Amino acid sequence: MTERLEQREYGPFIFALLAIATGVVAGLGAYLFRLLIGLIHNLFFNGSLSPFADANIHTAVSRWGLFVAFAPVIGAAGVVFLVKNFAPEAQGHGVPEVMDAIYYGKGVIRPVVAVVKSLASALSIGSGGSVGREGPIAQIGSAFGSTLGQLLRMNLWQRNVLIAAGAGGGIAATFNTPLGGLLFATEILLHEISVRTMVPVIIATATATYIGQIFFGTWPAFRIPTLESPFFHHDAPQVLVAYIGLGIAMGLVSVVFVKAVYGFEDLFTKRLHNVYVRHLAGMFIVGLMFTVLQRFSGHYYIEGVGYATIQDILTLTRNGIGFLLLLLALKLVATALTLGSGGSGGIFSPSLFIGACFGGAYGIGLDRLFPHIGVDPSAFALAGMAGTVGGATGAALTAIVMIQEMTLDYSVVIPVTITVAFSYGVRKLFCRESIYTMKLARRGHLVPEAHHSTVHNLRRAEEIMDRNFIVVAPDCTVHDLVALLRDAPHTWWIIVSDDAGGIELLSRSEVLEAATDGSGQVRVGTVPSLGFVVVDEDVRFYNIVIRLRLANATAALVTSSETVSAATVTGVIGVAQIAETVSQWADYLPVISANPNPFSGFRRR
């Protein structure tokens, strides 16, 4: 209780300044993290010490030749050392650990996590691991937000908001997508949607985006020449129907992606007990895959974040259906191997890669089968990217908006929306958990599936209090009080009031227990009083619960006057009244079935 009382709630102006600081760190973190990845990548592939590397350009053939297959193995050794000895929570794709801190860790993320996550993920990505940089950047930003909140002894809700602001700012800075970063924090991390939580995140993401633009420029992440037009593209109805098919397919691909990542994790954990052997073996397979791919196709394609390959697909530089589907399969397996064996990195970039491959192949196939309807394969690749992100992560709005911001092309907003909607629905049908929540669910840590308006928090004390209580004098015996209660079966509370105006609180169960113990002649004034707080009739439900918790009290006495006496008490609020208030609010909520069978609601005719 002492720790809670010492926590502070900062005013809007100070909180806004803290959000700016969080955004600045997130933006700088995104830049420095990219430099670190570039330094490691150039060292492992080219033997140079330059920190600059353009992920949208394919990596040149390594000077090490076929021996570059061992680059991920060397990087894996460093990753395991860092994670095992300094920060186990730095393993994996980062975002689940941030969610866990918000919902189960009281908003506490250790500062060392930011350092270890930066080094471990840079090693994974730079040495050729098939993971993204967005998850690590989100975890780095959120770690700073948590650390800032802890240093300032900030209360829990504000600390959690800074965590979400740091993560959203990191996403916004690395992709140049301020709205995407905001929506990511809103859909995945924020525990409450309101002005007081959204404004700090908006400030942080805008600040981080500005910092990112200083270093990365203002141009979008991907450029699509075929879609560059000042006019809205009115797709024919049959083309829009084709996006429904793409959405269904991307939903199924998302299911396979989620299952593959955790399936490989289970396989490695079960078969290889030594963490070094486990990750080194997985990364050797990954290195072998991209080395063979380069040997026969000219590029490494699936190593690292894979943005160069995505750019090729969007510009139709790579338009072979079979080859795109091969890249999809290899990237999916490589990502599952990297993360499943113990790597550190995000899943956002692999999701974009997988979606671009399938969407591009799907669009090219349609264009060849039906050349007269005007299919643009680039648009389908773009929709596929959004479909995989929305389906796999569960962040549907983030996927829709972020794809528009990453390309600065709003002509495909309707096809993208259709694709994401069906992808999310299909994934949810066959796999209830997203790639983020699956990790937490396996720990037994469930997170909310939706944000609801907690209307019960607005109810006033006089609306929920129990008005059935009786007032007795301290010299009344327990036996006489039991007789009174027998004539009042619905009365639960007893107020004991002395001549001086002092009051104590008893419940029906205490009195009956005293009577059964043979204490019938004992005066009620000697029975220990229950702990209680005093509240006015206008106090809201939320504040009542907080006061009860802080005081470790059993009930709240509701009074109609500032003077507290038996005459001014109008009601009592206890556990039963709190439970009743919450249960009435449940009428607003949808019923969530725990039945794992997606077709349990269908009946055979």
Q: What does the alpha-carbon distance between residue 74 and residue 76 come to, in Å, rounded to a whole number?
A: 5
Q: Does residue 594 sit within a domain?
A: no
For residue 306, the domain's CATH number is 1.10.3080.10
CA angle, 323 as apex, 319 and 327 as ends, to 5°? 110
Residue 601 is assigned to a structural domain of this protein: no
220, 181 in Cβ contact below 8 A? Answer: no
Q: Are residues 249 and 352 in the same domain?
A: yes
Q: Give, in order, the Cα–Cα distances in Å from 296 to each of 300, 305, 323, 416.
A: 10, 21, 12, 34
What pLDDT sits at residue 602?
42
- 431 lies in the same domain as 460: no
528: Cβ contacts below 8 Å, ≥ 6 apart: 510
The reported pLDDT for the residue numbered 594 is 46
What CATH number is attached to the domain comprising 460?
3.10.580.10
Contact 419, 243 (CB under 8 A): yes
Q: How far apart are CA 438 and CA 435, in angstroms?
A: 5
What pLDDT is recorded for position 6?
Answer: 60
HSE-up of residue 240 (Cα within 13 Å, Cβ side): 13
Read off the tokens for 579: 């439970």
* 220, 358: one domain: no
Same domain, 501 and 558: yes
Q: According to the model, what pLDDT value does residue 524 have?
A: 81
**How high is the pLDDT of residue 337?**
96
The domain in which residue 540 lies consists of 455-587
Of 120, 117, 219, 223, nearest in space to 166 by CA:
117
Measured distance between the N- and C-terminal CA atoms of the chain, rounded to whole angstroms: 59
pLDDT at 227: 58
pLDDT given at position 604 = 37
Which stretches of the chain drop beneath a pLDDT of 50?
1-5, 230-232, 592-596, 598-605
Q: Is residue 87 part of a domain?
A: yes
Final residue belonging to a domain, choices 206, 225, 244: 225
pTM, to two decimals:
0.83
pLDDT attached to residue 503:
87
Question: Is 550 contained in some domain?
Answer: yes
Cβ–Cβ contacts within 10 Å for residue 56, how many? 14
Q: Of 394, 414, 441, which closes a domain?
A: 441
Q: Is 250 in contact with 355 (CB distance < 8 Å)?
A: yes
Asked whether 24 and 211 are in contact (CB, 8 A), the reply is yes
Q: Is residue 21 part of a domain?
A: yes
521 and 544 belong to one structural domain: yes
Task: Judge if 44 and 161 occupy the same domain.
Answer: yes
Residues 169 and 247 in one domain: no
Report the alpha-carbon distance of residue 501 to residue 212 in Å, rounded.
66
113 and 256 in a common domain: no
pLDDT at 5: 44
Amino acid at 550: L
Q: Within this chain, do residues 411 and 469 fall inside the same structural domain, yes or no?
A: no
* Burial 428-452, CB ≥16 within 10 A → b, else e: beebbbbbbbbbbeeeeeebeeeee
Find the angle CA(245)-CA(250)-CA(254) to the nearest 5 degrees. Answer: 155
Identify the pLDDT of residue 173: 92
Q: Do 472 and 569 share a domain, yes or no? A: yes
Residue 397 lies in a domain: yes
Q: Report if residue 15 sits inside a domain.
A: yes
Domains contained in the chain, number: 3
Q: Which of 225, 257, 277 is the last residue of a domain?
A: 225
Residues 485 and 520 placed together within one structural domain of the fold: yes
Same domain, 213 and 121: yes
Question: Would you say residue 603 lies in a domain?
Answer: no
